[in-house]
Amino acid sequence: MGMETVSRNKSFGGTQGVYRHQSSETGTEMTFSVFVPEHAPGAKLPVLWYLSGLTCTHANVTEKGEFRAACAEHGVIFVAPDTSPRGEEVPDDEGYDFGKGAGFYVDATEEPWATNFRMRSYIEKELSALVATEFPVDMERQGITGHSMGGHGALTIALRDPRRFRSVSAFSPIVSPLNCPWGDKALTGYVGADRAAWREYDACALIEDGARLPDLLVDQGTADGFLEEQLRTHLLAEACEKAGQPATIRMQEGYDHSYYFISTFMADHVAWHAERLKA
């Protein structure tokens, strides 16, 4: 599980790094970024995982997310993985919403995707173990967030393993792949036509099936062009209300799907997670 340093830069007193390693889950090199705030020698810090959306890499949030000042203030490590395997040998699709850049945080079972597209196991197991080994993280204090497809990933990963995460939030998440075109295309292609097998990758379905979180924060822009057809935030609100799942779902007037929106509320999310990740 060797790790190569691609770059390291001092920022807000801490270190913003980009790293690369050979993944046994995806069979490819994978790149991720980690911000480690300034801290006392030997200290272990809480960690906030951030999962990115369609077409993104680790670089989008690293360069535009504006999280470092808040993470430095609250003493939170911030980890941003890629969204899919990469490389010439990796299968792809001509659409932006499937294939490279669109791993949907699932373990594919359908060919030709099954060999490389194992982003669920990569995030949940392999990268988690690597980060725990290489960085000063307190794995008893983990939070997770994400944007769009990454919001879907954050919600479903946490709902499947709620004891692992003390805090869960999302920006503009795909709340129900069972009920949107993006999800229909991705889950059919990656895990097959049996829609019952999709439920473990659908936040609303997981809540309906009994999964619970201590709390949940979601921010969604009202001017988001994907809101009505793809994101369908109201389905999550309805599922939470019906199940008695605590949730704060904020509709932010006039904001779109971009990092202008994410960066506006990023500090709020970091502070919200930090409060729940206290020792």
Beta strands 77-80 and 29-36, pairing class: antiparallel
**Burial letters 199-215, b for 16+ CB under 10 A, else e:** ebbbbbbbbeeebebee
Q: Does 148 participate in catalysis according to the annotation?
A: yes
Q: Residues 58, 152, 257, 273: which is the catalytic one? A: 257
Q: How many CA atoms lie within 13 A of 168 on its CB side?
A: 26
Reading the block at residue 207, the tokens are 């809540």
**46 close to 73: Cβ distance less than 8 angstroms:** no
Q: Residues 148, 167, 169, 176: which is the catalytic one? A: 148
Q: How many CB atoms lie within 10 A of CB 5?
A: 9
Report phi then psi at 212, rounded to 5.
-140, 150
Q: Residues 107, 152, 224, 269: which is the catalytic one? A: 224
Prior bond of 85 cis (ω within 30°): no
Rounded CA separation 160/149 (Å) = 17
Q: Does 257 participate in catalysis according to the annotation?
A: yes
Rounded CA separation 29/115 (Å) = 14
**Residues written for the chain:** 279
**52 close to 58: Cβ distance less than 8 angstroms:** yes
Catalytic residues: 148, 224, 257
